[in-house]
A and B are shown apart, each in its own frame.
Chain A
Amino acid sequence: MNNDIALTESTYYILLSLFEPQHGYGIMQRTEQLSGGRVKLAAGTLYGALSSMSERGWIRPLPGESGSRKKEYCLTKEGLLALKNEVDRLKELVENGEKVLGGENDG
């Protein structure tokens, strides 16, 4: 897999929200909660992202309970790897930023 890709903020938070299985609305709520209310996923954006991420094999729908129309999704091994790679990449960004700016950001 390509390790050089940068995830979009939506993709990142969707993967993070799916660390435990969630249905669509659950992902929206989890994302908002994780980001302290900053990132609000809109339904159309999330729906499109879920289908692209399923195609890519990063997430998969769980077998639905009978009578329930809500689809639950979970991370796959590839999805977890993509998430971990992204966390490493973000760490590098932050470390470099802090190194260059030094203590300037503290004040």
Chain B
Amino acid sequence: MAERKTVRKWFWVWEFDKEERWLNQMALSGWALVEVGFCRYVFDACEPGAYIIRLQMCPRDENYLSFLEETGAEYIGRVTRWIYVRRDAALGDFALFSDNASRLEHLGWIARMLLVIGVMNLVIGVVNSFNGTNLGSINLICATLLMYALGRIHGKMESLEKDRELEE
């Protein structure tokens, strides 16, 4: 059986491209992602650079997963609304999005999800603070973080939109 190791690592939600880069760095240095959990990544030893790894936020959709498999990609796993997929690097370059319209749509999903959870935390936090419960401040901190994340995602969206003013 292949050598296996588990790494615990935290990424903020706006750092999903950094997370993806890190996972690809791992693959380049001979560690292929085989399992994901909350802040937990399991790698098997592989030929350096054998796989390209991508992540995407998307709702549960079996049809999409089989569509991805049809194109040679392998589904690794899911953490909340994020899916992790990989493809044999020998099959060529691998991306999940190939134009700015779909990159923007993807960022839009992330932004909507952050907004919903952020507002939920804000409401719960305010209600709990009025009730004098200490837990209220935790929700308010979460809401602040989520709103910050939303700002970061909007920043990414704006730079893409700017490109789209002149090019597709």
Structural contact, B96 and A42, CB atoms closer than 8 A:
yes
* Size range of the chain A interface in the assembly: 20 to 34
* Size range of the chain B interface in the assembly: 20 to 34
A96 nearest CB across to chain B (Å): 19
Interface SS of A by simple majority: helix
Greatest chain A CB density within 10 A among B66, B70, B96 is at B70
CA distance A40 to B70 in the complex (A): 16
Contacts of B101 in A (CB 8 A): 8, 10, 45
Structural contact, A44 and B70, CB atoms closer than 8 A:
no
Contacts of A10 in B (CB 8 A): 98-99, 101-102
Contacts of A70 in B (CB 8 A): 70
Name B's A-contacting residues (CB within 8 A).
Answer: 56, 58, 63-64, 66-68, 70-71, 73, 93, 95-99, 101-102, 105-106, 168
Name A's B-contacting residues (CB within 8 A).
Answer: 8-10, 23-25, 28, 39-45, 47-49, 69-71
